[in-house]
Amino acid sequence: MATIVSRPVVKLGKHTDDYFFTGMSLLVLGTVFLGFARSYFLAGTVRAHLPSAIIHVHAVVFSSWILLFVAQTTLVSIGRIGWHKKLGILGIILACLLVLLGTLAIIDATRRHFTPPGLTPGMFLAVDLGEMAAFGFLVGWGIRARRDGAAHKRLILLGTLVTLFAAVNRWPFAFIHQIPPSTEFVIDAFLLFIIAFDLVTRRKIHRTTGWGSLLIFLLPPAMFTLGRTPFWVHFTEWVQR
Mean pLDDT across 165-181: 77
Provide the 3-class DSSP secondary structure of residue 177.
helix
Closest CA to 220 of 193, 185, 176, 192: 185
Q: What integer pLDDT is reported at residue 84 of this predicted model?
A: 94
pLDDT over 90 at 45, yes or no: no
Q: What is the pLDDT of residues 201-216, one digit of tens each?
A: 999 999 999 999 999 9
**Quick one: average pLDDT of 107-119?**
87
So what's the pLDDT on residue 115? 83
Indicate the pLDDT class of residue 140, thresholds 50, 70 and 90.
very high
Count of C-beta atoms within a 10 Å radius of residue 41: 16
- Rounded to the nearest angstrom, the gap between the alpha carbon of residue 164 and the centroid of all alpha carbons in its chain is 5
> What pLDDT score does 4 carry?
43
Q: How far apart are CA 96 and CA 102, in angstroms?
A: 10
For residue 151, CA distances in Å to 52, 123, 143 come to 37, 32, 10
Once rounded to an integer, what is the mean pLDDT over residues 157-186?
Answer: 84
| Region label for 8, one of left (φ > 0), alpha (ψ between -120 and 50) or beta (otherwise) | beta
Q: Which amino acid appears at position 156 of this protein?
A: I
Are 219 and 204 in contact by the 8 Å Cβ rule? The answer is no
Question: Does the pLDDT at position 87 exceed 90?
Answer: yes
- Reported confidence tier of residue 181, pLDDT bands at 50, 70, 90: low
Residues 40-59: what's their mean pLDDT? 88
Q: 149-162 and 207-228 helices cross at what angle (nearest 10)?
A: 20
pLDDT digits (tens, 9 = 90+) for 16-40: 888 999 999 999 999 999 999 998 8
3-state secondary structure of 79: coil
pLDDT tens-digit series, residues 190-202? 999 999 999 999 9
The long-range contacts involving 104-108, CB below 8 angstroms and separated by at least 24 positions, are 104/54, 104/58, 105/54, 105/55, 105/58, 106/132, 107/239, 108/51, 108/52, 108/54, 108/55
Confidence (pTM): 0.89
The predicted pLDDT at position 47 comes to: 82
Q: Considering the chain, what is the average pLDDT of its residues?
A: 89
Residue type, position 28, single letter:
V
How far is 118 from 183, CA to CA, in rounded Å? 12
Give the phi and the psi of residue 223 in degrees, each rounded to 5.
Answer: -70, -35
CA distances from 176 to 116, 157, 183 (A): 12, 23, 6
Residue 176 pLDDT > 80:
no
Q: Maximum Cα–Cα distance for the chain, whole Å?
A: 76
Is the pLDDT assigned to residue 180 strictly greater than 60? no
Contact 229, 128 (CB under 8 A): no
